[in-house]
Amino acid sequence: MDRLKPGKVIVLVLFSGWVFFIGSGFDFSRHSIPLEEISDGGPGKDGIPSINNPHFLSVEEAEGSLMRNSDRLLGFVHKGQARAYPVKILNWHEIVNDRVGGKAVVVTFCPLCGTGMVFDANVKNSKFTFGVSGLLYQSDMLLYDHQTESLWSQIKSQAVTGPMTGTRLKLLASTHTDWGTWKKEHPDTKILSDRTGYRRPYDRNPYQGYEFSSRLMFDVNLRNSKLHPKEKVIGIELGGKSKAYPFSELNKVSSPIKDVVSKVPIQIHYDGKTGTAVIRDEKNIELPSVVGFWFAWYAFHPETELFFAENRK
């Protein structure tokens, strides 16, 4: 079940103009990325099972039995309803198909890139549900939808093969934080239960030590040595421009930090004690952003600007 193994490029077969990946079950005849850059992550299609019927606990039920204050999670709020998705569970499932405040969403987490991203699951006026393909692009997970079996790049936020190629997913604002912080800010939150229908050792991290190593399990086309590959950053895209804020640099300045990206004023709020960063607009509304490892952000945003505290002095 552990994904930490060397990657391999899947064998391609060409037949009458059609391209297939042996054993994948997906149609690659239409695609927007080079097929040779798709890697086999190890487990096959649904080898890492998505959670399609999630169960939730109250704060009182989760205390002590499931969560400790320092446990990391991905938090999401819609229409006053708050959800918490523990990383210890996301490590083993990577995708949760859920409905929050009446909105269908897909919660995604790629342990190899450290990226947790929540998307609107309504695509072209249809509700989509997603599974784990077992395939990777630029070390990042490729989701597949159950409706058309197109593959979707998490960080690109769009379909890259199949009938939906080129279609974008709408990224929603979510927060990477710890349980102690989240429950204080959202005392009525519901938290994803470990009663998933699968037997997994959720208290064991199958990627133990990975986030501190400079080594990548799967290669990427572009690298940048300005930061440690696994440095955590919060990145944002606005008006066709992108910018990343390394946590190590945010630690050096007082929060919040005012900045402008593509002529849009923003504020970066950072709590060094909990390792929590969020980006808000002038009206204090949280904006969709991506928290993850530097190598992953750069692989998909090679033109990104990079924040350094010394530039503020």
For position 272, what pLDDT does the model report?
95
What gap in Å lies between CA 57 and CA 73, rounded to an integer? 14
Same domain, 226 and 127: no
Position 170 scores a pLDDT of 98
Q: What is the pLDDT of residue 42?
A: 87
Residues of the chain with pLDDT under 70: 1-24, 312-313
d(CA 218, CA 140): 9
Using one digit for the tens of pLDDT, what is the confidence trace for 233-285? 999 999 999 999 999 999 999 999 999 999 999 999 999 999 999 999 999 99
pLDDT for position 24? 64
Q: Are residues 239 and 266 in the same domain?
A: yes
Give the model's pLDDT for residue 280.
97
Nearest residue to 253 (alpha-carbon basis) of 304, 313, 294: 313
Indicate if 168 and 261 belong to the same structural domain: no
Q: Are residues 193 and 235 in the same domain?
A: no
Is residue 293 within 8 Å of residue 231, measured between CB atoms?
Answer: yes
Same domain, 228 and 207: no
Same domain assignment for residues 204 and 92: yes
Q: Rounded distance, CA 267 to CA 283, Å?
A: 10
Domain count, the chain: 2
pLDDT at 27: 80
Yes or no: say if 232 and 214 are a contact pair by the CB < 8 Å rule: no
Whole-model pTM: value is 0.92
Do residues 211 and 187 both lie within one domain? yes
* Claim to verify: residue 264 and residue 130 sit in the same structural domain: no
Of 184, 219, 254, which one is at a domain's C-terminal end? 219
Residues 253 and 180 in one domain: no
Residues 160 and 301 in one domain: no
**100 and 248 housed in the same domain:** no
Residue 259, exposed/middle/buried by CB under 10 A (0-12, 13-18, 19+)?
middle
Task: Note the pLDDT of residue 2.
Answer: 43
Q: How many CB atoms lie within 10 A of CB 65?
A: 10
pLDDT of residue 25: 74
The pLDDT, as a whole number, for residue 29 is 84
Boundary-marking domain end, from 219, 238, 258: 219
126 plus 2 within the same structural domain: yes
What is the span of the domain harbouring residue 169?
Answer: 1-219
